[in-house]
């Protein structure tokens, strides 16, 4: 998608550099959002969505 916008008039060095700048900026934004995401910092396992088999016994797990 970005390539078709940058190279709409034909392939050139300027278009390649523009594409590189756009990709570096997008990568930097994703890296910044990942670093600033506080939920990734915590290792609290009490907020798991799926309980383990020991916490939620089923017919297969009971003796």
Structure tokens at 7: 């190279």
Structure tokens at 28: 């930097």
Residue 12 burial by Cβ neighbours in a 10 Å radius (0-12, 13-18, 19+): exposed
Structure tokens at 62: 């009971």
Cβ partners under 8 Å of residue 15, min gap 6: 6, 7, 9
pLDDT at 33: 93
pLDDT top residue among 9 and 23:
23
Cβ partners under 8 Å of residue 10, min gap 6: none
Instruction: Read off the pLDDT of residues 31-53 as tens digits, 9 standing for 90 and up.
Output: 999 999 888 777 665 555 666 66
Instruction: Read off the pLDDT of residues 6-15 as tens digits, 9 standing for 90 and up.
Output: 888 888 899 8
């Amino acid at each position: 998608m970005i390539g078709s916008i940058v190279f709409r008039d034909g392939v050139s060095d300027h278009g390649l550099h523009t594409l590189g700048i756009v990709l570096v900026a997008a990568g930097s934004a994703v890296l910044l959002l990942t670093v600033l995401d506080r939920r990734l910092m915590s290792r609290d396992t009490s907020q798991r969505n799926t309980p383990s088999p020991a916490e939620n016994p089923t017919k297969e797990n009971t003796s």
